[in-house]
Amino acid sequence: MIWKKLEEKYPPSQTEVLVGYKEEAVYQGFWRQKEKPSWQIYSSVGLVEVKEPHYWAEIQPLPLPITTMKYPNLEGLNKTIKLADADSETIKEIQSLLLIGNFYNGEIDGIYDNNTVAAFAKWKESIWLGSPELIGEKAALSLLEIAENHIATEEHTVPTKPTLIDAGSKTGRVLFLPTGETVFEHEFIVPGIPLTWGEMTKGCDRVPETKLVVGNIVKTAKAFGKIRDVFGGPIGITSGYRTEKINRAVGGAINSQHVKGLGLDIYPLDSNFSRLFQVCRSSDAIGLGRGMHRGFIHVDWRDGIRVEFSY
């Protein structure tokens, strides 16, 4: 396994974000300093040690406090229970995810204690979920989003206002779809809805790979139209459809909805992020990501119930 430092979110003595590549699979996680010069990282492959934290580094497996980074108890939770009534394995999963999300700094011991309670309450508050003493299906799914490590770098640049002069016209670059259709860069995906093929595919550089993806893009455009109507003002796009290769390159989540054509990262041209977020929250979007501090809001239309997460 080879890991590479992706970005510094905190001073080196605290926590940094890493992304690793192995046989075209992407694993993401956070490393934490233990004893110099050794570092530790909690990731999708467990707890591992980094010998050279500031450079490319081979990672050697350590004895794991958690035998797997799967989360079967949270994934299978289909009812609401009191956090105090959760079994020790479920508490371990919660602690692990809160640790990755930088809400918890204690041991992964499965013990329901004040530190765990405070971290869980802080996390719930961060995504506007109430009842900090309870965990149910919605909270579990939102908590599991931490494991996705939403750290995509495509949105880190300050977005610019789109050129709207040709929007809706069959002009610009040509895009040949797997459905046999030919569309144009400035053409609306759905007539009357201000979202173009160029905005969804980065200027037609990203060709949808299957008919299913094309159908999902149309579904996403229709859903975006509802958000646009309620917001009542122009909305820009920082990221739409991504191929698997592009998604890996920008550090996207392994199960990114962008790859399926079901995800959008958007921003208001009037800079009123607070209002746009409220509109998105009241929409039929299933996935809702708060990236306002990075210049975007993520919305997607995955299967399931509403999940919220932060970047």
pLDDT in tens, 224-280: 999 999 999 999 999 999 998 888 777 677 788 999 999 999 999 999 999 999 999
169 touches 187 (CB < 8 A): yes
pLDDT band at 149 (very low <50, low <70, confident <90, very high): low
- Residue 165: inside a domain, yes or no? no
pLDDT score of 34 more than 60: no
Q: Tell me how far apart the alpha carbons of residues 238 and 200 are, in angstroms, rounded to a whole number.
A: 9
- Residue 163: inside a domain, yes or no? no
Q: Tell me how far apart the alpha carbons of residues 123 and 104 are, in angstroms, rounded to a whole number.
A: 9
And the tokens for 4? 């590479």
Of 13, 35, 61, the position where a domain reaches its end is 61
Most confident of 122-131, 165-174, 203-212, 253-262: 203-212
pLDDT in tens, 94-106: 998 998 888 998 8
- Residue 284: inside a domain, yes or no? yes
Q: What is the mean pLDDT of residues 4-31?
A: 35
Q: What is the CATH number of the domain that holds 254?
A: 3.30.1380.10
Q: Are residues 47 and 78 in the same domain?
A: no
The region of weakest confidence among 70-79, 251-260, 287-296 is: 251-260
Q: Are residues 263 and 190 in the same domain?
A: yes
Q: Which residue has the higher pLDDT, 57 or 146?
A: 146
- Residue 157: inside a domain, yes or no? no
- Residue 199: inside a domain, yes or no? yes
Q: What is the pLDDT of residue 304?
A: 86
DSSP letters along 69-92, please? S--HHHHT--S-EEGGGS-HHHHH
Provide the domain limits for residue 49.
Answer: 2-61
- Residue 164: inside a domain, yes or no? no
pLDDT score of 51 more than 80: no
Q: What is the pLDDT of residue 69?
A: 52
Q: Are residues 270 and 220 in the same domain?
A: yes
Q: Are residues 298 and 178 in the same domain?
A: yes
pLDDT score of 14 more than 50: no
Q: What is the pLDDT of residue 118?
A: 96
- Residue 279: inside a domain, yes or no? yes
- Give bridge partners of residue 28 from the DSSP assignment: 19
Q: What is the pLDDT of residue 293?
A: 80
Q: What is the mean pLDDT of the chain?
A: 77
Q: Tell me how far apart the alpha carbons of residues 89 and 68 are, in angstroms, rounded to a whole number.
A: 11
- Residue 156: inside a domain, yes or no? no
pLDDT in tens, 197-216: 999 999 999 999 999 999 99
Q: Are residues 80 and 50 in the same domain?
A: no
Q: Are residues 51 and 108 in the same domain?
A: no
pLDDT in tens, 58-74: 333 333 333 335 788 99
Task: Provide the domain count of the chain.
Answer: 3
Q: Are residues 40 and 78 in the same domain?
A: no
Q: What is the pLDDT of residue 252?
A: 72
